[in-house]
Chain A
């Protein structure tokens, strides 16, 4: 056994430092990966991407037309099929506006009633005009719109925007 030459670092203090260093490294090796592991799902962005609605020829001029489709959403390890509905409006047959059917008040589904020329929300009597602007009732802002595109006569909307 060799004696410590430097009297300032005793055997005991060296061991102490070594134990704390190794302990710190091991603690970090587990503690640091635990952080992304726990907060990972919280940082995940919502599903974005283009959702295929259907043939654009289905849309009549000046009448909001409902497109229904199902989209698969993945939450954790469970994937669910969700119904996704969008009203599409065109005034000239060239430019299409995709309007969400979710009421901006509390999230009920609004319905286009042709005879009364408006979107009606069944929950609190919110009424929206053809272009989604608020006519009456509690909704604080117009119906949301989706970014849309047309490829080969098929209409797509961008989800999560």
Chain B
């Protein structure tokens, strides 16, 4: 009965081919370092889910941001767990993307015909760093405030355009409610949309072109 329903649906959706192309594709004999990309994807998904849950209570406004974070952590059932996952997941993301990049670099996996996989990966790295930078401000505690003060100030020393970058990042000359709101908007809308689009291309290339084998010693 269930198999019949599955067949009926597949005749209309034609999903089995897609499933086979994604999960039953041929890959070279590889090692555990090749799981770093999947591990990154897994943690990214986790960040997405926990991030959505955090927006149920978090308020991006200087008067309430810190209080809402404290409320999540201390008052809500399992709030500490959801926030903890998002907090540690953020660090794990950075570690995993860097490890993944190093694996690709040292195995020479970025070479022809996989240059575009590497280039989309570079942009993905930038997006992940952007997530880290914007997310760090959101708890609006002392560490967040001063880290963003310093971070935007570093951008400000760039020649000629520095002051503009600093003002655009802060939404004015000083760190303010405007800064918090735009960091939040970037963190929950701009970056996730970019991440999703880039992951789409990145995964398409991995499946379409395939992954490279472990290089031989004399290669």
Contacts and interface: CB of A to CB of B under 8 A. Distances in A.
Interface of A: 30, 33-34, 36-38, 40-41, 76-78
A77 B70 contact: yes
A41 B46 contact: no
Nearest to B49: A30
B64 A33 contact: no
Given A30-B49, A76-B57, A37 B76 contact: yes
B82 A77 contact: no
B186 interface: no
Interface string B67-100: 1101100011111011001000000000000000
17 contacts: A30-B85, A33-B78, A33-B82, A34-B53, A34-B82, A37-B79, A37-B81, A37-B82, A40-B76, A76-B68, A76-B71, A77-B57, A77-B64, A77-B67, A77-B71, A77-B75, A78-B64
Contacts of B50: 30
A77 B81 CA distance: 18
Contacts of B57: 76-77
B112 interface: no
B46 to A, nearest CB: 7
Interface string B199-215: 00000000000000000
A77 B61 CA distance: 12
Given A77-B67, A77-B71, A37 B77 contact: yes
B56 interface: yes
